[in-house]
Amino acid sequence: MPTEPRVLADFLGTWSLKKTIREANGRTAAFEGTAVWTAENDGALYTERGTLTLAGGAAPLSAERRYRWTQALDVFFDDGRFFHRVPDQGGQAAHWCDPDQYDVTWGFESWPCFSAKWVVRGPRKDYEMMCRYAPA
């Protein structure tokens, strides 16, 4: 069943973000923090910050990532390279990052909570990551 199309303004603000990362070898990691979309020029700056807990009892790490989003829901790395386009009703997108393939499924069925499930395969990376966003 199609969901209402999302526009950039729907994402602006602060969201809680939880990620579960499962590597093909069975190891798991978790991230918990916030994702903030801040209006900037004709788009938005996306910044996520939080704590990454790796398998094996290693000390938790501070983690941060930034992307730039356009009104068309195009996502760019902070250095300006294109990443992928978020389907406005949810669905699949992909990014080839030689030599690894990144496939994502965006889910907006439970808006304002939403998800992004990443499947990353290649010689350097082999994991699945579920990202869950909820209003903060």
35-39's contacts with Cβ under 8 Å and 24+ in sequence apart are 35/133, 37/8, 37/11, 37/12, 37/13, 37/69, 38/12, 39/12
pLDDT tens, position by position, 54-101: 987 788 999 999 999 999 999 999 999 999 999 999 999 999 999 999
CB count in 10 Å sphere of residue 8: 19
Domain ranges of the chain: 8-135
Give the per-residue pLDDT at 132: 98
Give the per-residue pLDDT at 82: 97
Q: Alpha-carbon distance 81 to 96, whole Å? A: 12
- From the number of C-beta atoms within 10 Å of its C-beta (0-12, 13-18, 19+), residue 50 rates as buried
Q: Report CA torsion sign: 89, 96, 80, 65.
A: positive
Q: Which CATH superfamily is domain 8-135 in?
A: Calycin beta-barrel core domain (2.40.128.20)
Give the per-residue pLDDT at 2: 60
Give the per-residue pLDDT at 28: 94
Identify the three-state secondary structure at position 120: strand
Give kind and range of the element (H or E) at residue 64: strand 61-70
43: tokens are: 């788009």
**First and final C-alpha spacing in the chain:** 27
